[in-house]
Chain A
C-alpha cells in the first residue's frame, strides 16, 4: 500500500459511498440507485399509461383486474462521475505533511470510495496538460492506477486557479461531483474559478487546505518574505500586533471563501493538515454529506 492510504483507512473507506445531492445521468449502469426512475429490478411506483410509453413496462396483471393500463416504474441504477481537482502549485508544497500530500491523500480516499462503488473517478491537477491527461477510472481494481497517478503528481504547476478550472471544464464536460482541493492562495482571486464550476451545475466541494504554520506562523524578527510562486517580496518586522493582525486576515480570508461558496450552493471545507485524513473523511465529510 502506498503512503497515501493505509490499509486501516482503506477498510474504513470501503464502507462509505459518495453522495450527490443533484441528479446526474450516468453513462453506464452503476451500483448507485438514482433518484431518476428507470430500468432496474427494484420497483418504486405506478403511473398511468400515456401513449408512447414502452409497452414492456405495462403491468398486465393490473390491466386484467382493473381493465386500465398502468405503467410499472423502477429505480434507475447508474454510475456517478467523481472529479478530484488538485492544486499542485508550489504554494502547496509547504507544511509537514505538505499541503499537496494532504490533498493527494484526500483525493485518494474519496477516489477509493468512488472506485469501490463503481463510480467513474477522475483525479487531475489544475495544471494538467492535454498531452498527459489523467485517466478516468472505474472499479476498485483501478486503485493502483489511481495511486500511481497521484504519486506522480509533483508541485510546481503554477498557473492561475481560474485557468486551471477552465481547462478542467473544457476537458470534462460531464456532470457529477467535483472536489477542488486547493489553498486558494491565488493573487488573482479564486472567485472567477469557482464561478466557472457553478456554471457547470456540478455538485461542487471546495477543500481549502491550510497548514498549522499558515495559521500561526512561528516567525520573529525582521524578515524578507519571498513568495514561493512569483518571487514577490514582503518586508515585515514581526510583532505581536502584526501577528494578531495576520491571524485576523487569515480567518477573514477563510470566512470569505466559505461565505462565497455557501451563497452559491457550494460546500466549503477547511482542511487543516494537522487533522488526520481519516478523521477528515470520516467525520467532517460525513457531516457535510459528501459521503455516507
Chain B
C-alpha cells in the first residue's frame, strides 16, 4: 500500500482543521426550541431509563458526530490516493503496443484478451506521474499510431477506449520499428517508422499474448522492451486452418473439398464438422438449413486432422464449414469457401474457311466455355496476331491445316498440320486408317467413341518429342498425341477433316463431324486445352489482405458486397483489374457488375495457426526473448474511488439519520 499526495501542505493544514471544528461545533450547546409541557415528570423518568446504559447512550447520542468525522477521514484518505503498486514504470517515456490481432478476441481471460490488454494499459497510464509522457501504438499485421506522445492521461485513455480488435494476423516488427523511429532516429528508415523531433530513450510495453512471428534484425537501441503477457496458459482452441476445393481432373463434374482441423489444446478431442451449402453466404450460414455432410473426427492433443468431402455437380455458390465445438476463440471455428462461375477460355481458331470445326465451335456449350475468335491463315503474319500470341492473350489456338512460324504462348491444337518448332514428325500419308484405341482416361478423350464413324479416308501417324502422350492409336500409328512445351501443351491430330484431291478440290475426309463424338471432342479440347475454370474454388485471402479482382468484361467499376451486406464500389485500377482492400471481415465477398450479375467471389478466412494457437508465449526480438513482465508488477490498484464512494454512502446515511432520527 502506498499513497500519492494530492494536496499542498497548506491545503492539508486547512483540511486538518475540519475534524476539530466539527467536534467543537458538536459540543457547543444545541439551540433547542423551548416547549411548555404539563409536566417534565414522565420525560425525566424516560431520560433516566435512557441513561442507564450511559456509554452506549453517549455513543448513540454522538453517532452523527462520529459519522461526520468518519466522512472527513474517508475524504482525507481518498485525497491521499492510496493504492497498491509494484515497481515504478521504467523511465518517463512509454510506448504502449497493444495487440489487436485475431487472437486478442480470445475469451480465455474475461471478458477478452483485448479488453484485458486495454485494462493493463489503463492501469499503467494511471500509474504514470504527471511529467511522464506516453504514446499508444496498435498492431496486428500492421502497426498504427493511435496516440502520439502526450502527457494527457485522459486523452490516452480516450484513445485507448476507442480501439477495437481486428481479425488480422499479427506482426510486432512494424510496431517495433514505429517505436524505434521515435527513440532511435538513425534506425527510423523502415516502412511506417514515425519520426520524432527528439530521440529519447523509452520503455516499450508490448501488451500481447505473444502470438507473433519472431522479429529478427531489429536493433533495440534506446528502447527498453517489456512484454506484458495477456492470456491464460489453459486456453484451448480447435481451429479450421485450411478449407479448399479442387476439381477432380479426371471427373470434371466432381468437386473435392478438403479441410484441415488443428487442435491447439493439451487434450484429445472428438469434434463434429458440418458442411452447409447455399447460393449466398446468408443461405449457407442459415442454421435452419440441413447440413450437406457431417463428420466426426478425433484429433490428438496438439495434433491435426484432414478431412475431405466429395461432391457432384456443384455449380457456383458458397460452402460453410462449421466446427461444432465451444472454445476460447470462436472466430476460427467457421470457414468459408466460394465456387466461382466458370471463367471462359479465350480461343483463336485459325482456319482457311468455314467447316465442321467452326460449326462445332458455334454450339451453345462451346460458347459458354469459350470466347472464340476466327482468323484466316494469311493473317498469321500480321503484327496484330503476333502481339496477341506473344502476349499470351489466348488460352488455346487451334490451327486448322496451317501452322504459325513461331509457337505462341498458348496451348495449341494442330489439325492436319505440324507445329513449327521442328519437334514433331508426320508419318507417311496412308489410306483408311482405323482407330484401334482411345485413351479415355485423358480429359481430352473422355466419352470419345469412334464406333459409329464409317471411315477416315486418309491420315498420317504423328510422332512427337520426348514426353509425348499418345491419345488415339490407329492402324497406321498414333493419330492424336499430346506433348508439353514450356508450360503449355500441344496436341496434334493426324486425321484431318478435309483432304485435297488431285485437282486441288477440298473434300471431306471423314464422316466424324456428323457423329456425336465430334462435338464431344471439341468440347473436351476447349475445356482441357482452353483451361476453362469450370466452377472452381474462389481465391482465399487473409483478413486485411489486398485482393486483386480480374473480370472478363471491361467495366469502369464493380461493386463488392462484403459479408455484412455492405456495398463498396471499386474503380478499375487498370484494364479489367480491380483492387479491393477492405477485407477486415472473414466471410464471402461478392463482386457484381452494375446490373447485379455475380462476376466473381472471393473468401476471407483466418487460416492462421499462429493466431489460433492461444498458448501465451514470450516474444523473440533479434534472438533475445523479451521476458513477460508479471502483470501485477506494473499495476497500480487505486482505492480512492472506493473511499470516496464509501464517504458518500456514509454521508447519505448521516443525512438519513439526521432527518428521520431513526435508531438513535
A residues at B contact (CB < 8 Å): 90-94, 99, 183, 185-187, 211, 214, 217, 219-229, 232-242, 245-246, 249-250, 253
* Chain A interface main SS type: mixed
Residue contact B42 to A250, C-beta cutoff 8 Å = yes
Collect the chain A residues with CB atoms within 8 Å of residue B42's CB. 185, 214, 246, 249-250, 253
CA A249 – CA B47 in complex, angstroms? 10
Residue contact A239 to B661, C-beta cutoff 8 Å = yes
Residue contact A225 to B37, C-beta cutoff 8 Å = yes
Residue contact B41 to A224, C-beta cutoff 8 Å = no
The stretch from B27-35, B236-244, B374-382 touching chain A is B27-35
Residue contact B38 to A185, C-beta cutoff 8 Å = yes
Residue contact A232 to B40, C-beta cutoff 8 Å = yes
CA A227 – CA B41 in complex, angstroms? 8
Minimum CB–CB distance for A27 against chain B, Å: 39
CA A235 – CA B61 in complex, angstroms? 13
> In the complex where A185-B42, A253-B45 touch, is A235 in contact with B32 (Cβ < 8 A)?
yes
CA A234 – CA B37 in complex, angstroms? 10
Q: Residue on A with the closest CB to B34?
A: A224
Find A225's partner among B35, B50, B661, B663 (CB 8 Å cutoff): B35
Residue contact B44 to A234, C-beta cutoff 8 Å = yes
CA A234 – CA B367 in complex, angstroms? 115
Residue contact A223 to B33, C-beta cutoff 8 Å = yes
> In the complex where A238-B661, A240-B661, A241-B664 touch, is A226 in contact with B35 (Cβ < 8 A)?
yes
Collect the chain A residues with CB atoms within 8 Å of residue B31's CB. 222
- Contact indicator per residue, chain B 31-72, by CB within 8 Å of chain A (1) or not (0): 111111111111111110110000000000100000000000
CA A237 – CA B33 in complex, angstroms? 10
> In the complex where A222-B32, A223-B33, A224-B33 touch, is A245 in contact with B39 (Cβ < 8 A)?
no
Residue contact A221 to B41, C-beta cutoff 8 Å = no
CA A227 – CA B45 in complex, angstroms? 14
Q: Does B662 contact A (CB under 8 A)?
A: yes
CA A221 – CA B33 in complex, angstroms? 8
Find B661's partner among A91, A237, A245 (CB 8 Å cutoff): A237
> In the complex where A239-B661, A240-B662, A245-B50 touch, is A183 in contact with B38 (Cβ < 8 A)?
yes
> In the complex where A183-B38, A233-B40 touch, is A245 in contact with B49 (Cβ < 8 A)?
yes
Residue contact A219 to B35, C-beta cutoff 8 Å = yes
Find A214's partner among B38, B47, B660 (CB 8 Å cutoff): B38
Given contacts A91-B39, A235-B32, 4 further A-B contacts (CB under 8 A): A221-B33, A234-B40, A236-B47, A238-B661
Collect the chain B residues with CB atoms within 8 Å of residue A221's CB. 33
Q: Residue on B with the closest CB to A229?
A: B39
Collect the chain B residues with CB atoms within 8 Å of residue A233's CB. 40
Residue contact B664 to A236, C-beta cutoff 8 Å = no
Collect the chain B residues with CB atoms within 8 Å of residue A92's CB. 38
* CB<8 Å pairs between A and B, sample of 15: A92-B38, A94-B37, A183-B38, A186-B41, A222-B30, A223-B33, A224-B33, A224-B35, A225-B34, A227-B41, A234-B40, A236-B47, A239-B661, A239-B662, A240-B660
Residue contact B43 to A236, C-beta cutoff 8 Å = yes
Minimum CB–CB distance for A32 against chain B, Å: 38
Closest 9 CB pairs of A and B: A91-B38, A185-B39, A239-B661, A224-B32, A227-B40, A234-B40, A94-B38, A224-B34, A249-B46
Collect the chain A residues with CB atoms within 8 Å of residue B30's CB. 222, 235, 237
- Contact indicator per residue, chain B 638-664, by CB within 8 Å of chain A (1) or not (0): 000000000000000000000011111
Find A249's partner among B34, B39, B49, B664 (CB 8 Å cutoff): B49
CA A242 – CA B61 in complex, angstroms? 11
CA A207 – CA B34 in complex, angstroms? 30
CA A217 – CA B40 in complex, angstroms? 13
Residue contact A234 to B38, C-beta cutoff 8 Å = no
CA A168 – CA B486 in complex, angstroms? 147
Collect the chain A residues with CB atoms within 8 Å of residue B661's CB. 220, 237-240
Collect the chain B residues with CB atoms within 8 Å of residue A239's CB. 661-664
CA A211 – CA B42 in complex, angstroms? 14
Q: Residue on B with the closest CB to A214?
A: B38
Minimum CB–CB distance for A193 against chain B, Å: 15
Collect the chain A residues with CB atoms within 8 Å of residue B32's CB. 222-224, 235
CA A246 – CA B47 in complex, angstroms? 8
CA A232 – CA B35 in complex, angstroms? 11
CA A93 – CA B33 in complex, angstroms? 21
Collect the chain B residues with CB atoms within 8 Å of residue A91's CB. 38-39
Collect the chain B residues with CB atoms within 8 Å of residue A94's CB. 37-38
CA A228 – CA B45 in complex, angstroms? 17
Collect the chain A residues with CB atoms within 8 Å of residue B39's CB. 91, 183, 185, 187, 227-229
Q: Residue on A with the closest CB to B38?
A: A91
CA A233 – CA B31 in complex, angstroms? 14
Collect the chain B residues with CB atoms within 8 Å of residue A237's CB. 30, 61, 661
Minimum CB–CB distance for A54 against chain B, Å: 57
Minimum CB–CB distance for B214 against chain A, Å: 73
CA A217 – CA B36 in complex, angstroms? 12
Minimum CB–CB distance for B436 against chain A, Å: 118
Find A245's partner among B34, B41, B46, B660 (CB 8 Å cutoff): B46
Residue contact B663 to A241, C-beta cutoff 8 Å = yes
Collect the chain B residues with CB atoms within 8 Å of residue A229's CB. 39
Collect the chain A residues with CB atoms within 8 Å of residue B660's CB. 240
CA A253 – CA B661 in complex, angstroms? 26
